[in-house]
Amino acid sequence: MNKSARNAQIGRALAFLLLLAGAVLFMAPMYQMLTMALKPASEIQTSGAWAWPTRPTFDNFAKVATDPEISFLVFFRNTAVIAVLSTLGTTLTAAAAAFAFARLKFRCRDRLFVILLSTMMLPGFVTIIPSYILFAKLGWVNTNLPLWVPAWLGGGAFNVFLLRQFFMGLPRELDEAARLDGASNQTIFWRIALPLSGPALATVGVFTFVGSWTDFMGPLIYLNDRDQQTLEMGLRTFQTLQGTQWHLLMAASMLVLLPIVVIFLLAQKAFVRGISLTGGK
């Protein structure tokens, strides 16, 4: 084995060890959540958070899911509705805006795109008060409308940028051939651009779903009634005056995390491919 091959092998080994250490570091909180979720309250006080339970039990999960005082299923339904509507709205409207910036020619197109990108430098907290005043005048406070309707109004600058990068990589010959057959811009968008942009759409969809599913500030600001609240707000149910019910809180946290893990596993290949394709343009 020559020196270059030996160095390459050592480099791969070091990279593997580094990735393994990172995986252990990121999985440690998950392990702690699981051990605490499988323990009764009495064992948490005696054995601590990291020790594996002597008698693992799923009673905590059952209590969280079925106890009417916790209302987990109500929170789950509210969160699912908001996340699905936000994901659909963001994906469709961001794709439409990105297609226009990437494939259509109109006056001041590039300047408008620069202005759009400049909004990414505006901190989100700056818009909280103006947005609340607007939604209050519309009568939307204490409804889920402020949490998903804005997603249908453009999709966000970052998502538009991401999809625009992908659309710019599609061959122009596809548009020209479609126009020779009499296709309009709408037809090209729906029948050519969107079907070919599955990986990029999956990337935007996963980002949006995770952000909406785990959103805490939005529901905290706009939702007052308990039957309107989401999972992130529902987790506060386990923080009482008598202390935090860690066994129930960790079980609920595992259930909240489960849909995100499932969706990422299902869309993993498309997600990774979308990141590589949009990042390489």
**What rounded mean pLDDT belongs to the chain?**
87
Asked if the model's pLDDT at residue 75 lies above 50, the reply is yes
Looking at residue 8, its pLDDT comes to 80
Confidence of residue 274 (pLDDT cuts 50, 70, 90): low
Residues 110-135 pLDDT 10s:
899 999 999 888 888 888 999 999 99
Residues 149-185 pLDDT 10s:
999 998 889 999 999 988 988 888 888 888 888 889 8
Residues 6-58 pLDDT 10s:
778 888 889 999 999 998 898 888 898 999 999 887 787 777 778 888 888 89
Give domain 58-279's CATH superfamily: MetI-like (1.10.3720.10)
The pTM score is 0.86
Asked if the model's pLDDT at residue 271 lies above 70, the reply is no
The distance from CA 195 to its chain's CA centroid, rounded to whole angstroms, is 22
